[in-house]
Structures are given as C-alpha cells and as structure tokens.
Chain A
C-alpha cells in the first residue's frame, strides 16, 4: 500500500530561520509529488508539484522542494520563513498506477515574529 511519511509533526521557528520539512514515500515507479498548505481557517492550497523534469521545484511564496528518487524523498524548503508562513503543510504522492493522491499526516508550522 502507498504510504507517505512526514517526520516533523510540529515545528516552531523564529522569523528569518530556514525551514526544511521532510517527506518520504514508500513505493517506486513513476510518481507525482505535491506539497499543499492550509493556512488557519482556509482551504488546502497547492504550494508546488513535481511531475517530471528538473527535480528541484520552485513553488509559490519562496518555497521549493527537491525530489530525490534514490531516497524516495520530496523535502520542502524555504531559506527564510515569515510569520505568515504559520500553517499546516501536507505532502501528497500519487503513483503506482493509482489516480488517488495519498497524503501524509501533516506538519504544523508555527513561526514566531
């Protein structure tokens, strides 16, 4: 069965700190990879996605993620976080011939001003 692991459940940072959130998935083959963000009281929004090509993907609001196939990973990064980045972040993976994206448990990020 497909599974997606997000290792950091709660992250607390100060503004201007660097961020890296881990995401690993369990299956091989062709995959589509996603990071979604859910700001307080809002719906899930797509931050970035990887389908093919350059494994370093740039998303909105200064976020980026790197697909490392050998490590089955798709970690999310931001060099300098802002208070407005406080949100819940979800990694999702679609693969193995399935149409359905499987989500990780999410990481709650709190950024102190």
Chain B
C-alpha cells in the first residue's frame, strides 16, 4: 500500500539532546512537508522540500533542521536549540501544485 510512514509514533528525549524524526513516502511525490501541531494552534509549517536536495524554511524553522537526500525520505531533526520541542509532528507529501497533501500518522515527541 502506498502511503507515508512516520516513525516512531512516540518519542521521549531528555532536554538538550538532538532527536531525529523519520518520514518516508512511497507515493512518488516530489514535495514533502513537516508541520508541528499544538493544541489550539493548528498546523504550523516547519520546513518543506519541493524536490530532492532542496528545502526551505517554513514559518517556525528555528531549532529544526532537515535533509532531502532521497525523494522518499525527509527526516526532521529537533535540535537542542528548539525552546519548546514537546509537540505532535506531522509529515506530509504532495504530487504537485494542484493536488492535496497526504499525511503520516504523526510522531508525538516529549522532551523531559
């Protein structure tokens, strides 16, 4: 089945540690996105990538980094510089401009 896989579903980390969230898609989509979901704030864009080896900052990129070395994969690293990293992280992909985005199951990150 085609889709987007995020792993792990739940992640716990100590404050000050970097952590990488995985996002893999087998939909052959060019564009991939990372959103952060917080209660009452909807989905806010962290980073996006329209094509392999290229990515751009979204609205709340500070404290995050990404890479796009393969079309299928768009991992997100939450660095120790992110002041409030505990959140639900959603990865999405899209084929082109006039199409809808497909979402993964999300990763709930808790930093203690």
Which A residues fall within an 8 A CB radius of B? 6, 9, 32, 34, 36, 42-46, 49, 51, 90, 92, 94, 99-106
How many chain B residues touch A (CB < 8 A): the figure is: 25
Question: In the complex, A100 Cα to B43 Cα: how many Å?
Answer: 12
Question: In the complex, A43 Cα to B88 Cα: how many Å?
Answer: 11
A94 and B97 contacting across the interface, CB-CB below 8 Å: yes
Among B45, B96, B103, B105, residue most surrounded by chain A Cβ atoms (within 10 Å): B103
Q: Quick one: given A99-B50, A99-B97, are A90 and B42 in contact (CB under 8 Å)?
A: yes
Query: For the complex, is B68 an interface residue (Cβ under 8 Å from A)?
Result: no
Residues in A whose Cβ lies below 8 Å from that of B105: 42-43
Is the contact region of chain B dominated by helix, strand, or loop, or is it mixed? strand
Question: In the complex, A99 Cα to B96 Cα: how many Å?
Answer: 7
B42 and A103 contacting across the interface, CB-CB below 8 Å: yes
A44 and B90 contacting across the interface, CB-CB below 8 Å: yes
Residues in A whose Cβ lies below 8 Å from that of B101: 34, 92, 101
Q: Which of B17-25, B33-41, B71-79 participates in binding chain A?
A: B33-41
A34-B100, A43-B105, A105-B42 provided; 12 other pairs, C-beta below 8 A? A6-B42, A9-B40, A43-B104, A49-B100, A51-B98, A90-B42, A92-B101, A99-B31, A99-B50, A100-B48, A105-B41, A106-B40
Residues in A whose Cβ lies below 8 Å from that of B40: 9, 105-106
A44 and B103 contacting across the interface, CB-CB below 8 Å: yes
From A6, A94, A103, A105, B35 is in contact (CB under 8 Å) with A103
